[in-house]
Amino acid sequence: MFLFGLKRLLQGVVTVWFIATATFFAMHNVPGDPLLNERAGSEAIKANLESKYGLDQPLSTQYFIYLRNLSRGDFGISFTQENREVNDIIREHFPVSAILGILAIVFAATGGVLFGALTALYRNRLPDYIIMILVILGISVPSFVIAAMSQLMLVGINNMAGSTILPVAGWGTILHMLVPALVLGLGTMAYLTRLMRSSMLEIIGSDYIRTARSKGVPPSRIFAKHQLRNAILPVVTVLGPSIAAITTGGFVVELVFAIPGLGRYFVQAVQQLDYTVIMGTTVFYGAFLVFMVILVDILYGFIDPRVRLEK
C-alpha cells in the first residue's frame, strides 16, 4: 500500500512537471506582448519592464530560471498586479474557491447519491421521471444561465419578503455560500445521479443480491449493505476529478455572485497574458488535480477490498 502510494506520487510529480513545461512553452507562443498597454510606451520603458520580468533573456534561460523557482515553490510576481506575488494570490483566493468547491461537491455527492438511489428505487415511476427530467436540465443548461436565473430568483424572493433573506451576491457568511455552491454543484449532481441510478440497477440484478435475498436477509439490510455500498463505487471514482473540476471551474459562478475566488484570476490572467499568474494558477491547479486523482485511488482501496493492490 505504501509503495503503491509512493509510486503514484512519483508519477504525479512527473505529470506536474509536464504540465508546467507544456504551459510554459504554449504560453510564450501565444501571440501578443504581455507588456503592451493601451497607452503606447517608449522603448526605454519597455526595456526596463522586460529586464524586470526577465523577458530579455532567451526562452531556454527563462525556462530554467522558472523551473528553479518552481522547485522552490516561488511563482514570481504578477505582471498586472505589480505588487502582489502569485503565491499571495493563490494563498488568498484559493481558500475561497476551495470552500465553495467543497460545499458544491458535498451538495453534488449527497444529492447525486440520494437522488440516484431514489430513482433506482422508484424506477419507471413518477419520482424517477421527475428527477430524470431535472437531471437532463442540470446537465444541459450552462452554469451561467442557471447562475443568472437563480440570482434573479433571489431578488424576487427578497423583494417578496421585504427584507434580504439570502444575499444576492458577495462573500463572507454561510448565507452567501448556499446558492452559489448549489449552482456550482448542479451539473455534477445531475451527472452523479445518472451514474448512481444505472449502477444501482446493475447491482439489483446481480447474483449476490439474489443469494442474500434467498438467505432471508432483511430487505433494508440488503439495500444498505449490499446495494448502496457497491453502487457508490463508480461515484467515488469520478468524484476525484469532479472535485478538481468544480474547485477550478467556478469562474462564471464567481463572477456572477461577486465571489473573490481564484477562478477569476485564472481566466483574467489568460486574457491579459499575465505570464506569472498563468503559470502559477495552471501548475497549482494541475498539481491539485493530480493529487485528487491519487487520493481517490488510495481511497478506493478502503471502500473496495478487491482493489487493494497488493505489491
Partner 1 sequence: MNRNESNRGSEARSLALYAAYVLLAVAILIYILAFFAGNTGIAINGGAINEERNSITIALSEEPPQLDSTRSTDASSFVVLAHTMEGLIAYDQNDQLTPGVAERWEIRDDGATFWIREEAIWSDGQPVTAHDFEFAWKRVLDPDTAAQYAFILYPIKNAEAVNQGDLPKEMLGVRAVTDLVLEVDFERPTPYFDKLVAFNTYFPLREDFFESTNGRYGADAEMLLSNGPYILTEWIHGASMVWKKNPYYWNSEKGLLDEIVTAYITNDANANLNLFKDGQIVQTGLTAPMLPTAMEQRWQIDRFMDGTLFFLEFNHRESRITDNLHFRKALYFAQDPSELVYKVLKEASYLPAESLFPIWIQGLQGAFRKEYPLPKHSLDLEKAREYLDLARQELGLEDFPPIILLTGDSSLSLLAAEYYQELYKKNLGLELRIDAQIFKQRLAKMTSGDFDIVMAGWGPDYFDALTFGDLFSSWNLNNRGRYQSEEMDNLVRTAQSELDPQKRMDAFGSIQELIYSDVVIIPMYERGVSFVVDPRLKGFKRRSVGPQVDYNYAYIDSSQN
* Residues of this chain, 133-152, that bind partner 1 according to CB under 8 A: 148, 151-152
Q: Does 36 bind partner 1 (CB under 8 A)?
A: yes
- As a whole number of angstroms, the distance between CA 128 and CA 170 comes to 36
Q: For partner 1, which is the closer residue by CB, 171 or 300?
A: 171
Residues whose CB is less than 8 angstroms from the CB of residue 191 and which lie 6 or more positions away in sequence, other chains included = 112, 139, 238, 242
Map the footprint of partner 1 across residues 51-70, applying CB under 8 A: 52
Map the footprint of partner 1 across residues 85-104, applying CB under 8 A: 89, 92-93, 95-96, 99, 102-103
Q: Does 48 bind partner 1 (CB under 8 A)?
A: yes
Sign of CA dihedral 32, 36, 42, 46: negative
Q: Does 39 bind partner 1 (CB under 8 A)?
A: yes
Q: Which three cell numbers mark 77? A: 510576481
Per-residue binding letters, 220-239, with partner 1 (x by CB under 8 A):
x--xx---x-----------
Q: Which three cell numbers mark 197? A: 441510478
Q: Report how many residues bind partner 1 under the rule CB under 8 A.
A: 75
Map the footprint of partner 1 across residues 265-304, applying CB under 8 A: 265, 271-273
**Is the Cβ–Cβ distance between 264 and 254 less than 8 Å?**
yes
Nearest residue to 4 via CA among 293, 304, 297: 297
**Is the Cβ–Cβ distance between 86 and 280 less than 8 Å?**
yes
Per-residue binding letters, 160-189, with partner 1 (x by CB under 8 A):
----x--xxxxxxxx-xxx-----------
Q: Does 197 bind partner 1 (CB under 8 A)?
A: no
